[in-house]
Amino acid sequence: MIDPGHGGRDPGAIGISGLHEKDVTLDIARRLASNLAARPGIDAKLTRDSDVFIPLNERVQISRKARADMFISIHADSAPNRDARGLSVYTLSDKATDKFSKALADRENEGDLRGSIVVPTVDKAVGAILFDLEARHARNTAQHVRSHFVQSIGHKWPLLDNPMRAANFVVLRAPDVPSMLSETGFLSNPHDEKILRIPAEREKIARLMAKSLTAILESSLFG
């Protein structure tokens, strides 16, 4: 499940030259989906395929309902530090990697503060334990996916310092779907904005992501 960040009344970050994050994320997500669709055995779906607003929790529900093997949210936010640039990938954690990561997740979550998942109430004790085990498994898988993903993209695309990060993003809270969020770059950085404006560069990152995700989906992690 590919999730293009933002949309509709929520433009996301706005670049120095006026580029809207919601348009960049949708375009990269579509390119990623079509690259993945060319691979046998992979069924790529989008949480949104037009310029619409979808609350964060609803994105999580779309992914769970589809019983997705993997969820990736695509972003290109702005960073408080204009020099910050390059790709980074986040998995879910109550404890953020650093202040920068926490601030980023807080800003992303502002759009929808009602977004936490409720523990099923069938049998409170048993339900909570199963929920916890399942959530831990999904989180571990997501962390493995994150390292494979960042390593395979390697030096073919600019990377942020310490590109493997964690923070408490609402959109990553599915207990049963390994979920990650990729910042493809920062629209607050002139170099990144310049790259992300060019269709050929968006195609390049979409292809790199598709290649990496295909290898991960075909690996023993998902066997």
Contact residues: Zn ion, CB under 5 A: 5, 12, 75, 77
Closest CB to Zn ion among residues 5, 185? 5
For residue 11, the minimal CB distance to Zn ion (Å) is 10
Instruction: Retrieve residue 82's tokens.
Output: 């204009």
- Residue whose CB is less far from Zn ion, 110 or 123: 110
Least spacing, CB of residue 78 vs Zn ion, in Å: 9
Q: Tell me the closest approach of the beta carbon of residue 222 to Zn ion, in angstroms.
A: 27
Nearer to Zn ion, 12 or 141 (CB): 12
Q: Which is nearer to Zn ion, 23 or 77 (CB)?
A: 77
Contacts for 51 with CB less than 8 Å, ≥ 6 apart: 7, 8, 22, 23, 26
Neighbours of 27 (CB within 10 A): 17
Q: Which two tokens stand for residue 203?
A: 């195609």
CB of 24 to Zn ion, least distance (A): 9
Residue 127 sits at the vertex; the CA angle it makes with 124 and 130, to the nearest 5 degrees, is: 150
Residue 81 CB, shortest distance to Zn ion, in Å, is: 16
Spatial distance between the Cα atoms of 149 and 158, rounded to a whole number of angstroms? 14
Q: Which is nearer to Zn ion, 3 or 77 (CB)?
A: 77
Would you say 76 and 187 are in contact if contact means Cβ atoms under 8 Å apart?
yes
Q: Report the residue number whose CB is nearest to Zn ion.
A: 75
Task: Say if residues 178 and 145 touch (Cβ distance below 8 Å).
Answer: yes
